[in-house]
Chains A and B, each alone.
Chain A
Amino acid sequence: MIMDYILSVATLAGINMIAVLGLSVFTGFTGLFSLGHAAFIAVGAYTSAVLTYYYYVPFALALVAGSAMAGAVSLVIGIPTLRAKLRSDYFAIAILGFGEALRVLLENLTITNGARGLPGIDSFTTPFTVLFCLAVSVVLVSNFLRSRWGAACIAIREDPIAAEMAGVRLFRTRLLSLMVSAVFCGLSGGLMAHYLSFIQPVMFTLTQSTQLLAAVIAGGMGSISGPLIASFAFIALPEALRVAQMWRLVAYGLLLVLIMVYRPQGLMGYREITSLFGKRRDDGRRER
């Protein structure tokens, strides 16, 4: 009984970690803030759920389709805003508006069953599925960051002008980074829909976008492991504190404040947890 409960919290945390991992590519490694990534989770959740619910598409395929759809939708907001080279804070506002608009759209479509949400989605997601997807995501993201494109993202975060003078294509790289982050958010959404077996537009509000962003910043921009630890803690901690009902959300807020005051660079800063256990072989893309 208690084990089931712990396992379900861990599974939800794992699903959330995949979304945070996605956002960390965009915010942590490319240096652009977003207050609308919940929209990509919603796209992944609804796309995959509609596919398995109405069309009996195999779960794995539905997950891939949901991720791909989230990536495609990210182009709709990414192309106009990133081409205009909006500064990071303006971009965050633009994507906030986009996220809210998308949620209202989901509330009014017939196929999504409007604001009432989709009940009775098959619960295909198992803790093992989540663990597997999380592991694959971590590997893919860290490989991406060590690639030509990842190097371009990090250069843009460090100094956009110098990055351009190093041959980085600003618009394309930022767009790619947004797309990669949206794909992982979409995957997270697909897993979530098939774990909770019920989704509703109201689950994908600004609050959720903010929580993703909080996990990336508190975990450390420019780290993969930091945001993963933070997002796990942010899901697990309020649950662990259920014994003290009244104070649990206060403690959550306090934790955020304390991290920002004492470690403004985030838990891991620009490093990885692996760097605490001896150095990895230096193959050019050092662990951060």
Chain B
Amino acid sequence: MSAGHTFFSVTGLTKDFGGIRAVDDLCFSVEKGSITGIIGPNGAGKTTVFNLVTGVYRPTSGAIHLMGEPIGGLRPDAIVRKGIARTFQNIRLFNRQSCLENVMTPLLQRERHSFVGSVLRTPGARRRQRDLADRGRSLLASLGLEPFASQQANTLPYGLQRKLEIVRALATGPELLLLDEPAAGMNPEETKRLAELIAEIRERFDVTILLIEHHMDLVMNICEPIVVMNFGALLACGTPDEVRSNPDVIAAYLGKGKKSHDASAQG
């Protein structure tokens, strides 16, 4: 590990829901500029990790650091301002607003407008609003959504809704972008294009990406390193090749053959 602090890390992260331990003493770190993947069987606690990192849940114990600063337990909007943005597994857009408005909302929240000026709609306030709308349009254009700027978000086709969610996340100006199953519901061709898009976003917006995904081809192609979770705990971590050949990972995904068969027979 290089000197100084790591870009992003979770240490000893634990989350209990009643008697169920959804995340169990999880430790991993993310290098700046990487595309790190989180994989694991269903119910392994991947989305819970995202919810902990973004402040939707409070960790039971453990720490989360972004660029040396502890962010565990902060409110979601405070974490956004620290530089973490996310998309959701089930798309959560501002459905009845236009695409541009969806992007404008995070842009506006970053501004320090005067309340009186805004309510009186002074020429200065109008100009700032127009400039921001232009920035919103160019953000939309960067992912090819500009033609849909004034279209209502929930009338977009599914794939474009996912893209719009990414644009909205980018509009918060993140250092670290969390993508929760960005390829869910996409066919292999679309998945391939998405992989290219994710790599492009990293370059263009200079963000680090942490993503959860079930499409192995996507993960194995663009993610390095890959974090594997099982039953809320870290199972393995490494390059795609290391993970692929790790016996524990194979066992978690494919079962343990005779040994696990015996165990289940006893249980």
Is A167 touching B80 in the complex (CB atoms < 8 A)?
A: yes
CA distance A147 to B80 in the complex (A): 20
State the Cβ distance, B210 to closest chain A Cβ, in Å.
Answer: 15
Max chain A C-beta neighbours (<10 A), residue from B56, B108, B130: B108
CA distance A147 to B85 in the complex (A): 22
Max chain A C-beta neighbours (<10 A), residue from B54, B95, B118, B150: B118
What size tier do the contact residues of chain A reach?
A: 20 to 34
What size tier do the contact residues of chain B reach?
A: 35 or more
Among the stretches B11-19, B99-107, B198-206, B249-257, the one at the interface with A is: B99-107
B120 within 8 A of A: yes
Is A148 touching B85 in the complex (CB atoms < 8 A)?
A: no
Q: Is the interface of A mostly helix, strand, loop or mixed?
A: helix
B1 within 8 A of A: no
State the Cβ distance, B112 to closest chain A Cβ, in Å.
Answer: 9
Is A152 touching B105 in the complex (CB atoms < 8 A)?
A: yes
Q: Which residues 66-101 of B sit at the A interface, judged by CB distance below 8 A?
A: 75-77, 80-81, 85-86, 88, 92-98, 100-101
B133 within 8 A of A: yes
Is A222 touching B136 in the complex (CB atoms < 8 A)?
A: no
Is A148 touching B80 in the complex (CB atoms < 8 A)?
A: no
With A143-B121, A284-B129, A286-B150 known as contacts, the answer to whether A165 contacts B104 (CB < 8 A) is: no
State the Cβ distance, A270 to closest chain B Cβ, in Å.
Answer: 5
Chain B residues positioned under 8 Å from A164 (CB to CB): 55-56, 75-77, 80
**Which among A165, A167, A170, A283 is the interface contact of B130 at CB below 8 angstroms?**
A283
Chain B residues positioned under 8 Å from A165 (CB to CB): 54, 76-77, 80, 85-86, 169, 172
A149 within 8 A of B: yes
With A151-B101, A158-B95 known as contacts, the answer to whether A143 contacts B80 (CB < 8 A) is: no
B111 within 8 A of A: yes
A146 within 8 A of B: yes
**Closest chain A residue to B113 by CB distance?**
A148
Q: Which residues 72-90 of A sit at the B interface, judged by CB distance below 8 A?
A: none
B216 within 8 A of A: no
Chain B residues positioned under 8 Å from A288 (CB to CB): 96
CA distance A111 to B219 in the complex (A): 72
Max chain B C-beta neighbours (<10 A), residue from A143, A144, A154, A288: A143
Is A163 touching B121 in the complex (CB atoms < 8 A)?
A: no
CA distance A222 to B92 in the complex (A): 19
Is A283 touching B129 in the complex (CB atoms < 8 A)?
A: yes
**Which among B105, B120, B126 is the interface contact of A151 at CB below 8 angstroms?**
B105
**A 244-285 binary contact with B (CB < 8 Å = 1; else 0):** 000000000000000000000000001000000000001111
A39 within 8 A of B: no
Is A161 touching B150 in the complex (CB atoms < 8 A)?
A: no
**Which among B54, B101, B105, B119 is the interface contact of A143 at CB below 8 angstroms?**
B119
Is A148 touching B109 in the complex (CB atoms < 8 A)?
A: yes
Is B150 touching A147 in the complex (CB atoms < 8 A)?
A: no
B27 within 8 A of A: no
A155 within 8 A of B: yes
**Which among A144, A146, A154, A283 is the interface contact of B97 at CB below 8 angstroms?**
A154
**Which among A143, A162, A167 is the interface contact of B94 at CB below 8 angstroms?**
A162
**Which among B81, B96, B129 is the interface contact of A270 at CB below 8 angstroms?**
B96
CA distance A154 to B92 in the complex (A): 14
State the Cβ distance, B167 to closest chain A Cβ, in Å.
Answer: 11
Max chain A C-beta neighbours (<10 A), residue from B55, B96, B98: B96
CA distance A162 to B105 in the complex (A): 11
Chain B residues positioned under 8 Å from A149 (CB to CB): 115, 118
CA distance A282 to B85 in the complex (A): 27
State the Cβ distance, A181 to closest chain B Cβ, in Å.
Answer: 14
CA distance A159 to B81 in the complex (A): 19
Is B77 touching A168 in the complex (CB atoms < 8 A)?
A: yes
B192 within 8 A of A: no
6 smallest CB-CB distances across A and B, nearest first, come from A284-B133, A147-B118, A167-B109, A158-B94, A164-B76, A162-B92
Q: A-side interface residues toward B, CB under 8 Å?
A: 140, 143-144, 146-149, 151-152, 154-155, 158-159, 161-170, 222, 270, 282-286, 288
28 contacts between A and B (CB under 8 A): A144-B118, A144-B119, A147-B108, A147-B119, A147-B125, A149-B118, A151-B108, A152-B109, A154-B101, A154-B105, A161-B88, A162-B92, A162-B94, A163-B105, A164-B75, A165-B76, A166-B80, A166-B106, A166-B109, A166-B172, A167-B77, A170-B75, A170-B77, A283-B133, A284-B101, A284-B133, A285-B104, A286-B101
Given contact pairs A164-B80, A285-B104, enumerate 20 new A-B contacts (beta carbons under 8 Å): A146-B129, A147-B125, A148-B108, A148-B111, A148-B113, A149-B118, A152-B105, A154-B101, A159-B93, A159-B95, A161-B56, A161-B88, A162-B94, A165-B86, A166-B80, A282-B150, A283-B129, A284-B104, A286-B98, A288-B96
